Amino acid sequence: MSTIKIPKHLNRFVTFCKDGDEIPNELSSFVPQKPDLKGFPYPLPSAKSEYTCFANQGDIVWYGATTGLTRYDKNAKRDADRIMYFSADRYLYDNNVLAIFVDGDKVWVKTETGVVCIEMIPMTAEEKAHYMTEETVKYVTRHGMISHKYLREARNLDSKLPYGECDNDGGFTAGHAIGEIYKYAYYRSEYGDNDPRTVKAKKLATDSVEVALLCMNITGRGNGFAARTFLTRDEPVPDGYFFKKQGDKAYCIASPATLRRGIAGMVIDASTPVPDRLARHYRDEGYCDDDIIYKGDTSSDEITLHYMMMLNAYDFLVDDDDELRQIIVDTTQKLTEHIVDNEYRLIECDGKATLWAKWHEEYFTTPDGWADACLNSAELLMYLKVAEHITGDERWIKEYDYLINERHYDDYMLLHKDRFYHASYVLGCDPCEEMMYGDNMLAIMSYWGLLRLEKDEARREKFIKGLRTWDHTLLRETTPGYLFPLKSVYEDMPIDKEATIDWFIRFNPSRLASGVTYDRADVPIQPMLNGYKLTGWLLNQEERFIAKYDRDPLRFTKGESDTRKVEGSYVYTMGYWIGKFYGIIDDEE
């Protein structure tokens, strides 16, 4: 497949005017004139009767409606660019457009509750990647971890709250780290070690990897158990399995969750020191080890992403960093020992498995585990293969061979689609209602690792068959972050060129999670069996909700908007840099 060229493209930048801001007088004196849309050849996001005014910007026309703003470019080269929709909360204060004033490149729009200024600014895909990373590093990181951040004031990134953990901080940070690793690898291969871009990328990648490894080592238990996330002393502790470190011990904080489990107040070992290299990420902020509260009950989400983070760091980042390499080797070894020695489970302080980190066959025979078996078996095989690659310990390849030859874990992998459909039937819902979208990324990571490292053709063929049982979920999205890792190890992974270009050029440069309006005349709503709804076509990123890799991009939502939340960038950056490195995409000259 030839490299897909991503053109430079206009991106939406919106300034929400506040009281006291200078606003053109023309906006107040604007006289709305209903546009004549008879015979308009394309579907419009508002019903024709809803349009109330318009303004010209050269060959482009901006139409205002009671239900949002439409930009029409009859000369657009790409079909998807012909009609663009701007709606509240992301682009307007509200959807009732009262006036439009075009002032050169700026488009001022007055709605019932405020005025915005829209600019369409051309950016390359690479520029966008950097823009997003800067936003993420500045606004989204919490002790170096990256998932999302809440804001005190709507739309004001500078008002970010200093706290706000997420259940999967560790996993999302690992995902972010993978993107940064590939950025470094790309710049290194293109420009050499000493180029400023390479140097900067290496620092960012190294920081992210260290923070992800910190999550894995922060418990101090010394048995390989990884934490989901961690807080510091001045952050509120929500409900969940949280442990406060104190000297060489940690005690389980009482909460409804820990009380239910019967571990509240339990005191456990925390004597294994956290490597300084990793601990500096909180020590440099003025915290000490005793200020750390970490979250347990870790799931396979974190573990899976961590393994692939470690694999990629090992292969691309640490060839000249012995210290970090050794930390990766030790962490991998300890974690894998934990899983294998505990019969393929992650064990909490009470000796029982965590809720969502089970890879043993007994779990596969339970109602929950029966459908999970197909993904979990792939995960475990990947862990062992990666562990063997990083540590060189033959024990792991023996375990891997045993699971395939004796326990037939690779056969489970072939059953994903069948069991998934079966499970949705049992629940009486359509498959997409039953789907855990986060599982897509876990499947990607598992198959990516397996196909990268497994050289035996027969086993590869079986793994590919297993991977293709995920087509019904993966291919409905056209998400580079899914497809590019797989393409790098599996030549025949189908990639839609035009959809890929659209994905990159129409991706929001900012990850502020303000919502958009879904109630559109040009978007059919598709109800599912259990009330879930889909959009009739895959909307461009700019015109759909902002989320991580954990939500159905086809989901129809109404009223879901968070102007006080900003997401991390790895949904874009991971796919972008992997694509660049492997030559799947490039920016057009």
Partner 1 sequence: MNKIHLIGNAHLDPVWLWRWQDGCNEVMQTFRSALDRLKEYDFFVFTCSSARYYKWVEENDPVMFAEIQDAVKQGRWIIVNGWWVQPDCNIPSGESFARQALYSQTYYYEKFGKICKTAYNVDSFGHNGNLPQLIRKSGMTNYVMMRPSVHENSEMPKDVFWWDGIDGTRILTYRILNCNYAVNGKENLDKTIKFYDEYVENLNHDMMLFYGVGNHGGGPTRADIEYLNSILHREGKPELEFSNPEKFFSEVLLDGADLPVWSDDLQHHASGCYSATSMIKQQNRRVENLLYGAEVFDTIASKFYGSDTEKEQLKEAWEKVSFNQFHDIMCGCSIMEAYEDARDSFGYASTVAQNVMNKATIKIARNIDTWVDGVSEPYSEVRHNSGHPEFAKPVVVFNPLSYDVSVPVRVYQKSRNVKDSEGNFILHQNIRSSRSNDSHQDTLFIADIPAFGYNTYWVDGPDETAKEFISEIKTENLTIENSFIKASFDKNSGGITELIDKISGHEYCKGKILAVPTIIDDHETDTWAHNVFTFHNIKDTMNCESVELVEQGPVRAVIRCKFAYNKSTLVIDYILASGQKTLRAKCKAIWHEDFTILKMPFDIGGSDAINTYAIPAGFIKRPTNGEEEPAGRYGDITATVDGKRVGLAIVNDAKYSYDCIDTELRLTCLRNVIFADHYSDRPPANFNFTDEGLQRFEFGIYLHEGECENSDVEYESQIFNIRPTVVLESFHKGNLPQKQGVINIDKDNVCVTALKYAEDNSGDLILRMYETKGKNITRVAVVSDIFDFGFYTDIHAHEYKTFRIGKDSRVLDTNFLEGLT
Q: What share of the chain is helix, strand, coil (3-state, %, to 5)?
A: 45, 20, 40
4 forms beta bridges with 585
Categorise residue 350: left if φ over 0, alpha if ψ from -120 to 50, beta otherwise: alpha
Residue 407 interacts with partner 1 (CB under 8 A): yes or no: no
The answer to whether 533 and 525 are in contact (CB under 8 A) is yes
Q: Which of 66, 124, 526, 557 binds partner 1 (CB under 8 A)?
A: 526
Residue 79 interacts with partner 1 (CB under 8 A): yes or no: yes
Residue 43 interacts with partner 1 (CB under 8 A): yes or no: yes
Three-class SS state of 168? coil
Q: Which of 121, 254, 267, 426 binds partner 1 (CB under 8 A)?
A: 426
Residue 222 interacts with partner 1 (CB under 8 A): yes or no: no
# residues contacting partner 1 (CB under 8 A): 35
586 forms beta bridges with 5
* Count, residues in the chain: 589
Token pair belonging to 288:
């000490």
Token pair belonging to 461:
């063929």
Q: How far is the CB of 61 from partner 1 (least distance, A)?
A: 16
User: Rounded CA gap, 269 and 352, in Å?
Assistant: 16
Among 366, 503, 339, 375, residue whose Cα is nearest residue 9: 503
Q: Per CB under 8 A, which region of 46-54, 209-217, 324-332, 385-393 contacts partner 1?
A: 46-54
User: Which residues have C-beta within 8 Å of that of residue 517, sequence separation ≥ 6?
Assistant: 67, 68, 85, 87, 88, 95
Our CB check for partner 1 shows the closer of 306 and 520 to be 520
Residue 429 interacts with partner 1 (CB under 8 A): yes or no: no
Residue 81 interacts with partner 1 (CB under 8 A): yes or no: no
Residue 237 interacts with partner 1 (CB under 8 A): yes or no: no
Residue 370 interacts with partner 1 (CB under 8 A): yes or no: yes
Token pair belonging to 551:
């939500």
Residue 76 interacts with partner 1 (CB under 8 A): yes or no: no
Q: Which of 81, 269, 519, 587 binds partner 1 (CB under 8 A)?
A: 519
Our CB check for partner 1 shows the closer of 186 and 518 to be 518
Q: How far is the CB of 452 from partner 1 (least distance, A)?
A: 28
Q: Which of 103, 134, 195, 418 binds partner 1 (CB under 8 A)?
A: 418
Q: How far is the CB of 2 from partner 1 (least distance, A)?
A: 21
Report the DSSP pairing between strands 68-73 and 83-86.
antiparallel
Residue 105 interacts with partner 1 (CB under 8 A): yes or no: no
Map the footprint of partner 1 across residues 114-133, applying CB under 8 A.
Answer: none
Residue 36 interacts with partner 1 (CB under 8 A): yes or no: no
Site string for partner 1, 275-304 (x = CB under 8 A): ------------------------------
User: Rounded CA gap, 571 and 479, in Å?
Assistant: 9
User: Rounded CA gap, 83 and 199, in Å?
Assistant: 41
Site string for partner 1, 528-557 (x = CB under 8 A): ------x-xxx-------------------
Our CB check for partner 1 shows the closer of 350 and 418 to be 418
Residue 527 interacts with partner 1 (CB under 8 A): yes or no: yes
User: Rounded CA gap, 219 and 227, in Å?
Assistant: 7
Our CB check for partner 1 shows the closer of 172 and 412 to be 412
Three-class SS state of 95? coil
Q: Which of 23, 157, 415, 453 binds partner 1 (CB under 8 A)?
A: 415
Residue 422 interacts with partner 1 (CB under 8 A): yes or no: yes
Residue 499 interacts with partner 1 (CB under 8 A): yes or no: yes
Amino acid identity at 459: R
Three-class SS state of 354? strand
Token pair belonging to 519:
């109630």
Q: Which of 49, 56, 246, 405 binds partner 1 (CB under 8 A)?
A: 49
User: Which residues have C-beta within 8 Å of that of residue 452, sequence separation ≥ 6?
Assistant: 311, 488, 489
Our CB check for partner 1 shows the closer of 21 and 79 to be 79
Map the footprint of partner 1 across residues 469-498, applying CB under 8 A.
Answer: 472
Token pair belonging to 473:
């979920």
Q: How far is the CB of 426 from partner 1 (least distance, A)?
A: 5
Three-class SS state of 66? coil
Among 448, 523, 519, residue whose Cα is nearest residue 487: 448
The answer to whether 165 and 229 are in contact (CB under 8 A) is yes
User: Rounded CA gap, 98 and 123, in Å?
Assistant: 30
Three-class SS state of 229? strand
Residue 464 interacts with partner 1 (CB under 8 A): yes or no: no
Q: Per CB under 8 A, which region of 7-15, 241-249, 415-423, 571-579 contacts partner 1?
A: 415-423
Q: How far is the CB of 431 from partner 1 (least distance, A)?
A: 9
Q: Which of 20, 39, 58, 236 binds partner 1 (CB under 8 A)?
A: 39
Our CB check for partner 1 shows the closer of 43 and 273 to be 43
Residue 459 interacts with partner 1 (CB under 8 A): yes or no: no
Report the DSSP pairing between strands 68-73 and 60-65.
antiparallel
Report the DSSP pairing between strands 229-232 and 292-295.
antiparallel
Residue 531 CB neighbours (<10 A): 8
User: Contact residues for partner 1 (CB under 8 A)?
Assistant: 38-44, 47-49, 79-80, 367, 370, 415, 418-419, 421-422, 425-426, 472, 499, 519, 521-527, 534, 536-538
